[in-house]
Amino acid sequence: MPAKIKNVKKSIYLILFKLGFLFIFFTFFPNSIYAKNIDSTKIKDDWYIESALRYGRIVPNSSGTKLWNINVIGADLRIGKQTFGKSEWEQWFGYPNYGLAFRYAHFSDNMLQDKIACFWFLSGSFVDSRHLSFRYQLGSGLVYFFNYYDPFKNIENVFIGSALNAHIDLNLSLDFTITKQIDLILRANFSHSSNGAIRFPNYGINPISGQLAVRYHFNERAEKIYTIDTIKTFLPKNSLYFTLAPGFKQSKKNYVYDNPDKYRVKTKYLTTTFQLGYLRQFHPKYRFGGGIDIMYSSELRNFFPPEKQNEWKYMTTAGFVSFELLYNRFVVHAALAAYISRSADFYEWYYERAGFKVLLGKNRNHSLGIMLKAHAGMIDYIEWGYNFQFFNWNDKSVRILKRFKKRV
């Protein structure tokens, strides 16, 4: 075995040993670090630190691959804040926690080898009791791969085409309250990493894994506030809006055949989406909508012979429906669309869009967001958008809300 590989493996095992040590240390000896008694009544925010060990595999996303045979081992370190209902939105979503996560993962093959990730997360609950919670988590950020595609050194890796990639993280977990400051978490994790067609090859990878985590709260957790059972009505809000979302991508049509590096063409193509739509917020945490997408993608020129190329042919239109979750100023967006007009059937007749937005302004009529546009799960490009609700009105009558029972 080459000395370089041996040294890399030794470094990996050393990192895993240190992370495992931190896992045990925070579990059994938290007060050795935070020995000072802090009056929790003076500090309302419930901050915590969490360490986790994980093991899993990679879900194949194309036929003929051996991705499922690749094991994934690693560790997470999280710094987060547990809400307790001080704001109304925290109660609607079952007292979410949110924060920043750092992840190291090692793949049991020479193609992918190692990665590190940093991502924000937001977690809410389906069921929440005094000693057990069934929770979900959404997360997104960046991931760095140490062994991405190289036409001469790593030609097998058609899954990760660049060092820096987008990272999407989804979890389901059972959270057990052990003491007033310690939680034990069993977590099922799905994640996706790719660069959004900014650079090919870009099949992406989809690891699934199980996690065992221990969470230490710096202070005794506060009693949860519950007041939304007194809210009987909501005045729905209607909005007309536009979105402008530019982006760029590479094209699969730029493959160079009969060459060791068939992805050597690095041309980037401009994409732009203009959206005109309607939104209706019918609940403090939900809204739906629909509208028209008018899109331009200069990448489509590659699908026409030179004599038939025309800028107007790179324009497409589509109708869409959308649904959104509102975590205060943070919005999770999902949409499904079908093409109305296009010059040729280059992709599927429909597409999906998913991402998030941050609401801005006193009346929250402006927002900035990042969206992924995909055809049947295959990413087309990333949209970087600005949204403005230019005309708003409320219903004349209030909507009766279902009464919620207090969580135990």
Q: What is the pLDDT of residues 160-209, one digit of tens each?
A: 989 999 999 999 999 999 998 999 999 999 999 988 888 888 888 999 99
Single out the residue of 301, 296, 303 nearest to residue 346, CA to CA. 303
At residue 290, the pLDDT reads 97
At residue 272, the pLDDT reads 95
Burial grade of 174 (CB within 10 A; 0-12, 13-18, 19 or more):
middle
d(CA 386, CA 242): 8
Backbone angles phi, psi at 312, to 5 degrees: -65, -25
Q: What is the pLDDT of residues 355-367, one digit of tens each?
A: 999 999 999 999 9
Cβ–Cβ < 8 Å for 77, 53: no
Query: What one-character DSSP code corresponds to residue 305?
Result: -
Burial grade of 40 (CB within 10 A; 0-12, 13-18, 19 or more):
middle
**Distance from chain centroid for Cα 231:** 31
Single out the residue of 199, 294, 216 nearest to residue 254, CA to CA. 199
Q: Which residue positions in the chain have pLDDT lower than 70?
A: 1-44, 253-265, 402-408
At residue 266, the pLDDT reads 72
At residue 404, the pLDDT reads 53
225 contacts: CB under 8 Å, gap ≥ 6? 84, 85, 86, 91
Single out the residue of 101, 90, 93 nearest to residue 54, CA to CA. 101
User: Cis link prior to 306 (omega < 30° from 0)?
Assistant: no
d(CA 306, CA 286): 48
Q: Side chain identity at 317, as an amino acid letter?
A: T
Q: Which structure tokens are listed for 85?
A: 């209902």
Backbone angles phi, psi at 149, to 5 degrees: -60, 135
d(CA 196, CA 382): 6
At residue 372, the pLDDT reads 92
Backbone angles phi, psi at 329, to 5 degrees: -95, -5
At residue 129, the pLDDT reads 84
At residue 29, the pLDDT reads 45
d(CA 337, CA 316): 12
Exposed e or buried b for every residue in 221-253, given b needs 16+ CB within 10 A?
A: bbebeeebeeeeeeeebbbbbebebbbbbbbee
d(CA 107, CA 80): 27
d(CA 262, CA 265): 8
DSSP letter for each residue of 225-274: P--GGG--EE--EEEEEEEEEEEEE--GGG---SSS-TT-----EEEEEE
Cβ–Cβ < 8 Å for 202, 378: no
DSSP letter for each residue of 197-235: TSSS----BEEEEEEEEEEEESSPPPPPP--GGG--EE-
At residue 259, the pLDDT reads 57
**Distance from chain centroid for Cα 287:** 20
Backbone angles phi, psi at 143, to 5 degrees: -135, 140
d(CA 24, CA 18): 10
If DSSP codes are grouped into helix, strand and coil, which group holds residue 195?
A: coil
77 contacts: CB under 8 Å, gap ≥ 6? 19, 22, 49, 50, 51, 52, 101, 102, 103
**Residue-range domains of the chain with CATH:** 3-224 (2.40.160.20), 229-399 (2.40.160)
